Structures are given as structure tokens and as C-alpha cells.
């Protein structure tokens, strides 16, 4: 995969001691070229509505695990968060067998405001639909019906170890996925989720999910939700996430593991960039513990 950034590679002239001559294999001028992330792939896909996505793949390294397939982490806002997660994975040998799938948008912007506002949000009344919102089920359909099969065609995948990571609106979307399609992902990490959005619309889905788990209609065993906030997040963001964690604690009796963590010294936009190792440990170190 090639990132849309460039780097000046200053080879310079390496002088031989006492002679002033350059090594023959050293270029004598600076060369400019695109940076390439090793062990990555990229392709584009369209959803049923014709919207285009960049799919960024951090390839697994090493033998296929005993389960018969590699664990997979799907990352929302892949333009912003894929590269740092990929490099954190490769730098730590115990995580290299994982596949990381960045769900990204065309272009260079870290965050595509219009696309993510639609993809990661619930429908709203027409008078509030600026920017356009309401595409959360379209994105889940794309992930379930198109993207996951495409990954499974290319790599052996552990169907029982698939995770979703999102930040802000992405965290909100990841929790929506847990509540409405719990069979899709085993483990969720939601960083600074926007639980206040649209009059806390997720509360209804939370109640439905809890009732289904308690009634035995949803098997929560081997499922986990990790909630992370920054200590400089808004007070509402912090309280909403903490209270959600407290409410879901009762579902531990049915197998759902949940956790809450506050990161000191960070704010809403900085917190994802100090979470890479924590996310990998949560989702891979103890099978989503």
C-alpha cells in the first residue's frame, strides 16, 4: 500500500577517507518518492449504493494459528488510524499474526467529514439531515456481505475472533454493531464514543440487546466491549461511557466482558494515537479480554 505522502531521501555523498570520492552505489542527488508501508495491501470496493471505499490491509505474518485462521481487526476511519496500528502490530511479534483491515475513504484527508457523518450515524428527521446522515446499516451490510467475504477469500480467517475498533462517531457505530448485530464481531473497542448523539439513540438498542441476552436469544459468551475515554474528553462523553459500562456489568453473568478505562493527559482527538498497543492487547493478547 502506498500512502499519499512523500519523503525526501537524502542519500548525499559518502566521502571515502582522504580521497574525496563517493561510493559508487550511492546516488549523488536527493530522490523523492512515495512512502510505502511494508506488508500491506490496498484495493477499492463499492457498497450496494455505489459508494467507494479504500480497503487497507495489514497482512498477517507467520504460521496460521492453531484455530485454523488469523484473527481480524476492522478499523473505522482507516485513513487516520490504520498506519499507526499496522506499525504497532509489526513491531510487537506476538501480534504479527493478526490481519488489520482499515475501512478508509478515497483521498488524503485523515477524516472525511461528509462520508463518516453518513456512514456512522442513524437516520434523522429531514430538518436535521445536514450533513446527510443515516447510513449505519448500509455500512454494516457492506462489511458483512462484501468486505468480510473478500477478506476470507484472500486469507484463512478465524471466524470466532473478529473485532471492530472505532473512535468518536466510529465508537458509537461500533457499539451499535454490538447491540444490533452481535454475531458479526466478537470484540469491540470504542474510544471516546459519541453516546450523546441524536438524543442518546443507542439507549433503546442497549435495552433491546440486554433483554435479548437475558432471555438467551443472544449468546454473549466470548464477546467483549472495551470503552476508553480521555480525561480531557467532554464531561458528558466521560460520564456516558462510564455509565454504559456500569449498566452492562450485569451482563457479565451471561458471559459479556466489559471494561472502562480513562487515559490521562489526552483529549478527544489525541487519545486514539496513544491507544495502539492497548487496542492490540485488548483484542489479541487475551482473545479480547
Co-location of 88 and 9 in the same domain: no
| Statement to judge: residues 73 and 25 lie in one domain | no
Helices (runs of H) and strands (runs of E) counted in the chain? 9, 10
Query: pLDDT per residue over 152-193, tens digit each?
Result: 999 999 999 999 999 999 999 999 999 999 999 999 999 999
Q: Are residues 174 and 260 in the same domain?
A: yes
Shared-domain flag, residues 179 and 271: yes
CA-CA-CA-CA dihedral for 279, 187, 236, 169, to nearest 10: 90
In a shared domain, residues 111 and 78:
yes
- Expressed as residue numbers, the domain containing 13 is 1-36
Tell me: do 85 and 32 sit in the same domain.
Answer: no
Q: How many domains does the chain have?
A: 2
CATH label of the domain that carries residue 98: 3.40.50.1820
Q: Which residues of the chain have pLDDT under 70?
A: 1-29, 286-289
pLDDT, position 22: 45
The answer on 255 and 179 residing in a single domain is yes
Task: Please say whether the beta carbons of 210 and 254 come within 8 A.
Answer: no
Contacts of 226 (CB under 8 A, 6+ apart): 187, 188, 189, 190, 258, 259, 261, 282
Residues 184 and 131 in one domain: yes
Give first-to-last CA distance, the chain, whole Å.
31
Is there a single domain that holds both residue 119 and residue 159?
yes
Same domain, 58 and 25: no
26 and 161 in a common domain: no
For residues 166 and 31, membership in a common domain is answered with: no
This model's pTM is above 0.85 = yes
Residue-level pLDDT at 26: 60
Q: Residue 25: what pLDDT?
A: 59
Amino acid at each position: 500500500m502506498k500512502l499519499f505522502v512523500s519523503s525526501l531521501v537524502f542519500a548525499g555523498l559518502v566521502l571515502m577517507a582522504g580521497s574525496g570520492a563517493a561510493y559508487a552505489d550511492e546516488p549523488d542527488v536527493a530522490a523523492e518518492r512515495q512512502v510505502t508501508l511494508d506488508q500491506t495491501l490496498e484495493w477499492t470496493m463499492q457498497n450496494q449504493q455505489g459508494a467507494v471505499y479504500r480497503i487497507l490491509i495489514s497482512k498477517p505474518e507467520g504460521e496460521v494459528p492453531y484455530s485454523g485462521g488469523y484473527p481480524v481487526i476492522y478499523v473505522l476511519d482507516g485513513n487516520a488510524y490504520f498506519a499507526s496500528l499496522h506499525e504497532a502490530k509489526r513491531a510487537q511479534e506476538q501480534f504479527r499474526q493478526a490481519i488489520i483491515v482499515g475501512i478508509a475513504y478515497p483521498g488524503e484527508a485523515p477524516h472525511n467529514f461528509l462520508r463518516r457523518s453518513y456512514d456512522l450515524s442513524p437516520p434523522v428527521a429531514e430538518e436535521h439531515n445536514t450533513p446527510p446522515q443515516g447510513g449505519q446499516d448500509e455500512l454494516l451490510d457492506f462489511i458483512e456481505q462484501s468486505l468480510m467475504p473478500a477478506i476470507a477469500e484472500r486469507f484463512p480467517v478465524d471466524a470466532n475472533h473478529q473485532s471492530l475498533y472505532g473512535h468518536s462517531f466510529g465508537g458509537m457505530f461500533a457499539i451499535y454493531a454490538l447491540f444490533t448485530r452481535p454475531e458479526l464481531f466478537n470484540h469491540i473497542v470504542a474510544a471516546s464514543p459519541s453516546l450523546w448523539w441524536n438524543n442518546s439513540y443507542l439507549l433503546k438498542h442497549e435495552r433491546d440487546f440486554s433483554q435479548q441476552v437475558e432471555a438467551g436469544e443472544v449468546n454473549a459468551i466470548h464477546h467483549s466491549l472495551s470503552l476508553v475515554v480521555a480525561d480531557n474528553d467532554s464531561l458528558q462523553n466521560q460520564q456516558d461511557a462510564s455509565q454504559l459500562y456500569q449498566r452492562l456489568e450485569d451482563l457479565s453473568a451471561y458471559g459479556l466482558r466489559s471494561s472502562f478505562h480513562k487515559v490521562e493527559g489526552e483529549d478527544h482527538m489525541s487519545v486514539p494515537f496513544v491507544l495502539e498497543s492497548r487496542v492490540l492487547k485488548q483484542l489479541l493478547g487475551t482473545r479480547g479480554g
